[in-house]
């Protein structure tokens, strides 16, 4: 297989600046509708200490859970053949698989699974526990942290002739 491209999340300063701008935009554009929905729904935001505590704890936990979902999906998509490790660098938490290679569709599933599952879980839990407005805020914070995954998925989907993707120490290598 030939290398068709690479996404270097940890080493590409231009990509990191773009992701920071995207994160801020996702947060700003998401919070506005969330706050409007809260106002229309008559929800009181941070109405008591429990709501504040729930918001802080879930916000802190959601990024670790996000990485656990990546790990779970790497294991599922590789049929248990990937060795999983975790790390933190340059403000990023990450899941690494020591060069696991997957077909591009499976790799995209690994990348997007936390966006869908963790965000839905945050919102569902918040609504069940009557922290509706707070759950929307935490969901937006989580989504703002998903932009790196989205950028990698976009690169995989739009790079010509990519059939497989190999996890790397700093992102992923696109192969075809």
Report if pTM > 0.85: yes
Distance CA 64, CA 86 (A): 10
pLDDT digits (tens, 9 = 90+) for 108-132: 999 999 999 999 999 999 999 999 8
User: Domain spans of the chain?
Assistant: 26-147
Count CB neighbours of 33 within 10 A. Answer: 11
- Predicted local distance difference test score (pLDDT) of residue 6: 95
Under 8 Å between Cβ of 163 and 2: no
Instruction: Give the closest residue to 95 by CA, choosing from 19, 169, 5.
Output: 169
Give 166's contacts (C-beta < 8 A, 6+ positions apart): 99, 100, 101, 172, 173, 175
Spell 6-19 as b/e; 16+ CB within 10 A means b.
bbbbbeeeebbeeb
pLDDT tens-digit profile of 45-96?
888 889 899 999 999 999 999 999 999 999 999 999 999 999 888 777 889 9
Q: Cα dihedral angle (14, 19, 24, 27), rounded to 10 degrees?
A: 170
Q: Which contiguous run of DSSP H or E holds residue 92?
A: strand 92-96
Give me the residue label for tokens 């526990």. 129
User: Mapping DSSP to helix (H, G, I), strand (E, B) and coil, where does residue 41 land?
Assistant: helix
Residue 43: the pLDDT is: 79
């Amino acid at each position: 297989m030939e290398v068709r491209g690479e996404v270097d999340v940890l080493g590409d300063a231009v990509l990191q600046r773009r992701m920071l701008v995207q994160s801020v935009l996702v947060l700003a554009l998401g919070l506005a509708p969330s706050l409007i929905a809260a106002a229309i729904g008559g929800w009181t935001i941070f109405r008591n200490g429990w709501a504040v505590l729930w918001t802080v704890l879930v916000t802190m936990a959601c990024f670790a859970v996000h990485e656990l979902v990546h790990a779970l999906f790497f294991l599922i998509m590789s049929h248990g053949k990937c060795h999983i490790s975790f790390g933190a660098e340059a403000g990023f938490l990450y899941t690494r698989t020591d060069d696991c290679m997957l077909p591009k569709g499976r790799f995209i599933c690994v990348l997007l699974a936390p966006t869908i599952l963790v965000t839905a879980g945050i919102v569902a839990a918040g609504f069940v526990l009557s922290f509706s407005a707070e759950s929307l805020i935490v969901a937006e914070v989580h989504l703002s942290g998903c932009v790196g995954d989205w950028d990698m998925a976009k690169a995989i989907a739009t790079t010509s002739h990519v059939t497989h993707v190999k996890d790397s120490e700093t992102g992923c290598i696109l192969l075809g």
